Amino acid sequence: MNALTLWFHKTGSPPTAYRLAGRIMPWCYGLGLVLGLVALYGGLVLAPRDYQQGDAYRIIFIHVPCAWMSLFAYFFMAANAFIALVWRIKLSEVLAMAAAPIGAAFTFITLVTGSIWGKPMWGTWWTWDARLTSELVLLFLYLGVIGLHAAIEDRRQAARAAGFLALIGIVNIPIVHFSVNWWNTLHQGSTVRLMGPSKIDASMIWPLLLMALATHVWFFGSVLARTRIGLLELDGGKDWVRAIALDDDKEAHA
Amino acid sequence: MRSGSTTAACAALVRRDLTLVWRRRGDAANPILFALIVVALFPLALGPEPEQLRRIAAGVVFVAILLAGLLALDTLFRSDYEDGSLEQLVLSPHPLSLLLACKIAVHWFTTALPLIIVSPLLGELLHLAEPLRGLLPLALLLATPLLSLLGAVCVALTVGMHRSGMLLALLVLPLYVPVLIFGAGACNAAQAGLPFAAPLLWLGAALVLALVLAPLACAAALRISLS
């Protein structure tokens, strides 16, 4: 076994991964918080008003990064599920299942902020636009993965089954997007246009990109936090978990 | 011990599943009754105006048949799981995906095909437009095998759970969205006087793809759930 595979296997073992995640996690949260606050200040205060949408457009600084994250989290989950199914790596199972609720939360925020934005802009909370519909289907896919994971007793089997579902879903996402596009344009021309990236001004784009970075970093912090819990659950009876539990016990009584 | 040929195994499986359905032929009528009742609810809720019903007829029939198929999905592996014969299938020396494809085919033949046969009746209840009388069964003929194949993969994931009904719906319905859009879309396009060949061809292409891939995915999913 060469040095790289050895390092890989060591890092992937639950106790090491637990410690490593604990060390990286605060940095992700801290960096995400700082970047997010700067981006919010840039977006809400520094960026100019939109000549057409007024101040209402400022919700894109939450909406668009969350929409990007909703897809990114799914790809992250599916990639880890693939690794877990093919190479049977425990850590990947836990990582994939840790990403599911976070991705669902991002998808939910995207839908909610989208409809809050839609009310003043289009005069309606919801329209059966292609993008909205595929985002809604994405939310259902997430909920299916979470539901399946929660319904099976055995943690490893649950992670494998839910991971398999996530992989079926990733085949489904482009098909849904394509079919929904087709369905919508059959009935009527696209009446709703989201702001094209080329039309956006530089003073608006930097807070947007910074916020996207912040959500990514925050996502990883959150995944690591959930992974730590997942690893403790998975290895519940093992010695290293018992050592951690006893340490905590000692500190609580000291 | 010498095992028989794969063809013989498939034939035996098909014969067994058909016999089981025949012995309980009362149950086989349930999906039809369900679809009939769902379709009958719409005029009660929306009012009996023929014009209004005609506009939504194809979509309602599609959704009713989709839901009936969803409820019938649970029976695909349920009894085989309970009496242990599903595990014997997994352990058999023959390719599991092929055996499952036979099971799915029998299931489609006994649950979806009767629904397609009664679909003109369902359409008539809602005053289905004249040009759709032939198209709706054709679209269903392409769509329902696809629904059975996609559904089978999800059923394989939930096999062995006690109350899998709601969860199964949550897993399956997002996968059904494109099938519904293309199937009902073709009917709606025809009703509006637009060309409708493209969505049907897409359905056909998806069906060919699913015929090859879904049994493999179903076998993989079953191995996960039974491990």
Does A140 sit within 8 Å of B174, measured CB to CB?
A: yes
- Alpha carbons within 13 angstroms on the beta-carbon side of residue B100 total 29
Q: How far is B19 from chain A (nearest CA, A)?
A: 32
* Of B163 and A96, more confident: A96
Q: pLDDT value at position A159?
A: 92
- The answer to whether A190 faces chain B, any CB pair under 8 Å, is no
Q: What is the pLDDT of residues A82-141, one digit of tens each?
A: 999 998 888 999 999 999 999 999 999 999 998 888 888 778 888 887 778 888 999 999
Q: Which residues of A touch B221 (CB under 8 A)?
A: 161, 164
Whether residue A252 has pLDDT greater than 60: yes
Query: Taking phi first (over 0 means left), then psi (-120 to 50 degrees means alpha), and beta for anything else, what does residue A248 get?
Result: alpha
Q: Give me B86's structure tokens.
A: 């599903």
> Is B68 a residue whose pLDDT tops 60?
yes
Contact A69, A103 (CB under 8 A): yes
Which chain A residues contact residue B56 at CB under 8 A? none
B182 CA: distance to closest CA in chain A (Å): 7
H helices present in A14-59, as ranges: 14-41
Helix-helix angle A155-187:B197-226, to 10 degrees: 170
Phi and psi at A54, nearest 5°, equal 65, -145
Q: Do A144 and B185 touch (CB under 8 A)?
A: no
Please report the pLDDT score of residue A1 as a whole number. Answer: 63
pLDDT of residue A173: 83
Question: Strand (E) positions, A100-218?
Answer: none
Beta carbons of A161 and A147 less than 8 angstroms apart? no
The distance of B45 to chain A (nearest Cα, Å) reads 23
* Banded pLDDT at A183 (limits 50, 70, 90): confident
B78 pLDDT tier (thresholds 50, 70, 90)? confident
CB B159 within 8 Å of CB B33: no
| A163-177, A183-197, B189-203: the lowest-pLDDT one | A183-197
Residues B129, B52 contacting (CB under 8 angstroms): no
As beta bridge partners, residue A50 has A54
**Secondary structure (DSSP) of B12-51:** HHHHHHHHHHHHTHHHHTHHHHHHHHHHHHHHHHH-S-HH
Residues in chain A with CB shorter than 8 Å from the CB of B158 are 148, 151
Entry pTM: 0.88
Q: Domain map of chain A by residue range? A: 27-188+203-236
Q: Is the dihedral of CA B203, B138, B193, B45 positive or negative?
A: negative
User: B2 pLDDT band (50/70/90 cuts)?
Assistant: low
- Please determine, for residue B172, whether its predicted confidence score (pLDDT) is greater than 50: yes
